[in-house]
Amino acid sequence: MMMKRLLLYILCLFVWIQAQAQENYTLTGIVSDSNGMPIRNANVQILENNKPIAYTFTNEKGSYALSYNSAKTQVLLSIGHISFEKTKLVIDSKETKKNITLLEKKTQLREVVVKAPQIIQRGDTLSYRLSS
């Protein structure tokens, strides 16, 4: 009976130590473009070992707030948006505020060729091939 109690105490101690090893952190900030305009619906993630441990999206004012648990002193902050270049930053886990400026993504459009059907004018009448 005494051995079972001792094992139970050791197990409780182990669980408590594991819970204390991971601290709770909160990170807030604003995501904006190079002109200082806020970017809404940007994806903000905290990555640990290249796996997301917390994520959120920016609101209409470009602000975000993330709460996460981590045992590491540094984590990776990843910010992405369809119209802007993806940005990754290594930050200190204890950092509470991080404002980010994203650069616009330049997309080269492919060339487009528009072909009109051949139209023939005979006097005041226009004719064209229906098969084409």
pTM: 0.66
Determine, yes or no, domain membership for 106: yes
Write the DSSP string, the chain.
-HHHHHHHHHHHHHHHHHHHHSEEEEEEEEEE-TTS-B-TT-EEEEEETTEEEEEEE--TTSEEEEEEEESSSEEEEEEEETTEEEEEEEEETT--B--EEPPBPP-PPPP----PPPEEEETTEEEE-S--
Q: How far is CA 125 from CA 85, 117, 120, in A?
A: 54, 16, 8
Per-residue pLDDT 10s for the chain (132 aa) are 677 777 777 776 666 666 555 678 899 999 999 999 999 999 999 998 889 999 999 999 999 999 998 888 889 999 999 999 999 999 998 889 999 999 998 888 899 998 876 777 888 887 777 665
Find the domain containing 85 and state its range: 23-127
**Nearest-CA neighbor of 68 among 54, 57, 56?**
54
Determine, yes or no, domain membership for 8: no
pLDDT of residue 20: 58
Q: What's the CATH number where 88 sits?
A: 2.60.40.1120
| Longest Cα separation, the chain | 112
pLDDT of residue 22: 63
Q: In the chain, how many domains are there?
A: 1
pLDDT of residue 19: 58
Determine, yes or no, domain membership for 12: no
pLDDT of residue 132: 57
Determine, yes or no, domain membership for 2: no
Determine, yes or no, domain membership for 16: no
C-beta of residue 43 within 8 angstroms of C-beta of residue 59: no
